[in-house]
A and B are shown apart, each in its own frame.
Chain A
């Protein structure tokens, strides 16, 4: 059985939505990312409590009309890359304390 992944936004980031894309910068290494709509949706849903598979199935596949297997693979690659820069925290258990509250703007 596949282990669930829980993802949370790191507190050590700066982020802002700019013209439909999320701009994210890691305070740790000043790496700068722009996230497309799908990646922005995953990032915004990264509350530390919802499993990645549920984010993909319940949000990404519903909102963006992509096939679940393809979406799950893409999401895992995205999560791996952002976690390497400390932008997302990943665990096989819920990360309730980690995600900063996103101000809805």
Chain B
């Protein structure tokens, strides 16, 4: 077991939040077509409030801190926040579109000892990237930022959200990442908007494209291993937890709301009204999330993929039941292995039952 895995296991055993994702603003200078956020400012935490939260997080044992948004540099106090975070010795990762990063900002990030900068790039072609961000010239500015950051010796990672509109440019983004000397991660997950609007889910790539990704040796390594049929689940799998959300990690919004994860919008408390540790330890919502084991999932516990699925409890929650399946992950498991999930099989059965009832009604 690596030291990092040991650290995570220890945090899990001790019930400590080792990792926190803090969005410091939802404001943004881009208007990405797939974005789930409301970019208006409804009363963000002040600098003093955020600094207080950071001190509470350090007290609570948080080691990994992701600062994200919105666009983090929309806050004038961004560097003040990073500076305090680094004084508190967090391992800081910053997620940004890079548009506002010039040499001065890149130098400051290096001086502050930020661990990694993750930058969203949707395509290597300006006409595709800029059409997604709706900010003309954004790709050029983002690439320039990456070069500034690299010249400072910072670790940069390109995050490539894949949608139907940019799927064919994926290899171009990989080549761009290689040319810039930065790492590359792809993410085919599109989530509903915060207000529940699911219209942006239409941007998701189709299953056939997912299959192509999962069978790309360059992306997954050994295809045989990655796409192997799932082994029969043992007791350890059935007693297992789905992910770190609420167990060793959580998310805090710019308004102080605490959730199990950025992708799991179950309101669990607010740091403006309660101490972070009180929320972490005593929130009924977080404790409910923590209580769930694979064996408690009505459909998924019967699924062949239960031990290997990337099932996201947050996506399941957004579909209406945190103990239910996440259909996007059912699709991923299916496209990876060719074996339908229990939920897909049940859906097919429900669908055929539905048709029978219709026929009866018509008769």
A92 to chain B: closest CB distance in Å? 25
> A105 at interface (Cβ–Cβ under 8 A)?
yes
B10 interface contact, C-beta 8 A: yes
Contact between B113 and A18 (Cβ–Cβ < 8 Å)?
A: no
Q: What are the interface flags for A64-105 relative to B under an 8 Å C-beta threshold, 1 for contact and 0 otherwise?
A: 000000000000000000000000000000000000111101
Chain A 1-45, CB-CB to B under 8 Å as 1, else 0, gives 000000000011111111100010101001011100000000000
**Which of B6, B10, B113 touches A27 (beta carbons < 8 Å)?**
B113
Complex Cα gap A15–B115 (Å): 12
Q: Contact at A16–B115, with CB atoms within 8 Å?
A: no
Closest Cβ of chain B to A28, distance in Å, is 9
Is B152 interfacial (CB 8 A cutoff)? no
Partner of B61, one of A12, A13, A16, A27: A16
Do A34 and B87 form a contact, CB below 8 Å, given A19-B14, A27-B115, A105-B58?
no
Interface residues in A, total, Cβ within 8 A: 21
- Please give the distance in Å from B313's CB to the nearest CB on chain A: 25
Given A18-B61, A33-B3, A103:B89 Cβ within 8 A: yes
CA distance A20 to B207 in the complex (A): 47
How far is it, in angstroms, between the C-alpha of A8 and the C-alpha of B326 when the chains are bound? 49
**Interface size, chain B (Cβ < 8 Å):** 26
Most chain A CB within 10 A, of B6, B14, B90, B91, is at: B91
Q: Which residues of A contact B155 (CB under 8 A)?
A: 30
Contact at A32–B89, with CB atoms within 8 Å? Answer: no
Once the chains bind, are B89 and A18 in contact (CB under 8 Å)?
Answer: no
Determine if B18 and A18 form an interchain contact, defined as CB atoms under 8 angstroms apart.
yes
Contact of B3 among A12, A15, A34 (CB under 8 A): A34
**B246 shortest CB reach to chain A, Å:** 18
Contact A17 B89 (CB under 8 A): no
Shortest distance between the CB of B234 and any CB in chain A (Å): 28
B2 to A, closest residue via Cβ: A32
A23 touching B63 by the CB < 8 A rule?
Answer: yes
Q: Are A14 and B92 in contact (CB under 8 A)?
A: yes
Q: Tell me the complex Cα distance, A12–B155, Å.
A: 13
Other-chain residue from B10, B55, B113 in contact with A12 (beta carbon distance below 8 A): B113
Q: Which residues of A contact B86 (CB under 8 A)?
A: 11, 100
Query: Do the beta carbons of B18 and A30 come within 8 Å of each other?
Result: no
Question: In the complex the two chains form, what is the Cα distance from A34 to B62 in whole Å?
Answer: 15
Identify which of B61, B90, B113 gathers the most chain A CB atoms within 10 Å of its CB: B113
Cβ B7 vs Cβ A34 within 8 A: yes
CB 8 Å contact bits of B47-66 with A (1 = contact, 0 = none): 00000000100110111000
For this complex, 19 residue pairs linking A to B, each with C-beta atoms less than 8 Å apart, are A11-B113, A14-B90, A14-B91, A14-B92, A14-B115, A16-B61, A16-B62, A16-B63, A18-B10, A19-B14, A23-B7, A25-B115, A27-B114, A32-B3, A34-B3, A34-B6, A100-B86, A100-B89, A105-B58
- Hey, which bits of chain B sit against chain A, CB under 8 A? 3-4, 6-7, 10-11, 14, 16, 18, 55, 58-59, 61-63, 86-92, 113-115, 155
Which of A's residues lie within 8 Å of B, judged by CB?
Answer: 11-19, 23, 25, 27, 30, 32-34, 100-103, 105
